[in-house]
Amino acid sequence: MKKLNFAPSSKGKMLEDYIADNLPRFFPDFRLISRNERVADGARFDIHAKDSNGIDYYIEVKESRCNRLSIGQIVEYKANLSKVNPGAKIILICKDIDPGLRETLKKIDVDVETFVDFKIPENIAKSQANKVGMMKLSPVEQDAYFALLRRGFIIAKAENLASTLDISHAWAKNILSKLASDGAAQRVGKGKYIIIPADVLYGRKSYIGDPLVLVSKLMKGIDYYVAYYSAAHIRGITEQMPFKTTVAVLKQLRPIKIGNIHMNFVNLKKSRFFGYEETEYMGISLNVSDMEKTIVDCIDRQDLCSGIAEVIRTLSNAFEVEKLNWQKLSSYVKRFESHALAQRLGFIMELLRERKKIQVEQIILDELLSLTSPKVYPLDIKAPKQGEISRKWRIINNAGSLEI
């Protein structure tokens, strides 16, 4: 690709302006359609172009090195874009990227180009970073902010900044607090701060990322597991993208909301805090409920899983994608000590078996039947208690006609 000659008069423009102004040189087959275009919920791209075949390309420009949070944002953009324009392509342009992360994006059909690939002069790339002076940060705060960005910190604590700048812990703590006051960071826990990406600080974008990437950083030293619909998403058995991330914990924690990131914490009693395993997600390790516990949790708290109809579809998907350990599932229900859970699960499993969605041995249904009580429970915890009653499972089917 040929080296570009940028006119000195354009030096004050933002980095994406350079890409847009020289689009035919970077991509000879492209023509510019629009700038800063919102194409779906939460997805606003820097550049929209089309090639000679009429294929849409959405280009996202990052002035910094791409990290896992950047990938989380692009994954969310990709999911939202596919709903409205499944044939569109995404190109991510950033300062640099690890080969492993580049390969991860390639698997979801996102191309990555770096400043080196495009031979962007270093002084032009630096001019973008210098614009953060608009935030009115002091020189010390700017040094701290960019040092944390360069080191790839998504979440930072005082000891991180202290070691990065070789300053005292007390001073680092004060700087982080000031960065939060000025909007360059956000406090998300005791002594923990999310470092807000620079493009957010320009006011160009809201804060969008993959909350699951933040979980591994936030929950260090805390007993937790990703649960309910978020776990179902990781297990690949959902039909929708969850708008909130739900994490099970053993103590009360406040929910986190930063831009489009919503993270809720469900305080479980210790007797129900089980059935999770370390799982790799986007190159990081997370504690996630296993498939059997995900099913049990979703039935127990259908309100956290988009309602009973979506829960039944999710369970049907679970039965299809993986050979479930029926004995483990039954043992989890026993440990829960909930008649309502046993009755709802038994009713749903028998319904799915009748509709030839699953194959389950009668002995498992008999075990669940032995855990029932004389009390009648509604299938849908939110709907009025009206509908046909299953005498066998003592369940009111108040969910109407269920499409599975």
Burial code (b: 16+ CB inside 10 Å, e: under 16) for 269-285 equals: eeebbebbeebebbeee
Q: Which residues have CB under 8 Å from 133's CB, separation 6+? A: 142
d(CA 78, CA 92): 11
**Residue 7, pLDDT score:** 34
Instruction: Copy the structure tokens of residue 53.
Output: 């075949």
Q: Which class for 97: exposed (0-12), middle (13-18), buried (19 or more C-beta within 10 A)? A: buried
- Which residues on neighbouring strands pair with residue 246, listed in sequence order? 264
Going from the C-alpha of 316 to that of each of 255, 320, 356, the distances in angstroms are 30, 6, 10
**Residue 203, pLDDT score:** 54
Going from the C-alpha of 14 to that of each of 18, 124, 203, 239, 289, the distances in angstroms are 7, 9, 13, 38, 44
**Residue 394, pLDDT score:** 96
Q: Which residues have CB under 8 Å from 123's CB, separation 6+? A: none
**Residue 1, pLDDT score:** 35
- Residue 36's nearest CA partner among 58, 62, 64, 69 is 58
- Residue 215's nearest CA partner among 158, 297, 285, 272 is 285
**Residue 208, pLDDT score:** 54
Number of neighbouring beta carbons within 10 Å of residue 247? 26
The sign of the dihedral angle between the CA atoms of 213, 218, 223, 229 is: negative
d(CA 60, CA 74): 8
pTM reported for the whole predicted model: 0.62
- Residue 258's nearest CA partner among 317, 328, 211, 292 is 211
DSSP state, residue 4: P
The sign of the dihedral angle between the CA atoms of 121, 200, 282, 312 is: negative
d(CA 267, CA 252): 6
Q: Give the pairing type, strands 89-94 and 245-249.
A: unpaired
In tens digits, what is the pLDDT along the chain, a chain of 404 residues? 333 333 333 333 467 788 888 888 889 999 999 887 777 665 678 899 999 999 999 998 887 777 666 676 777 778 878 888 889 999 998 888 888 888 888 888 899 998 888 887 766 655 554 444 445 678 788 889 888 988 878 789 999 999 999 999 989 999 999 898 887 888 877 788 888 877 666 554 555 566 787 788 788 888 999 999 999 988 888 867 677 899 999 999 888 877 667 889 999 999 999 999 999 887 788 999 999 999 999 999 999 998 898 899 888 888 776 678 888 999 999 999 999 999 999 999 998 888 877 788 899 999 999 999 999 999 999 889 999 999 999 999 998 776 65
Give the DSSP per-residue string, 41-67: TTEEEEEEEE-TT--EEEEEE-SS---
Domains and CATH numbers, the chain: 8-124 (3.40.1350.10), 136-201 (1.10.10.10), 211-397 (3.30.460)
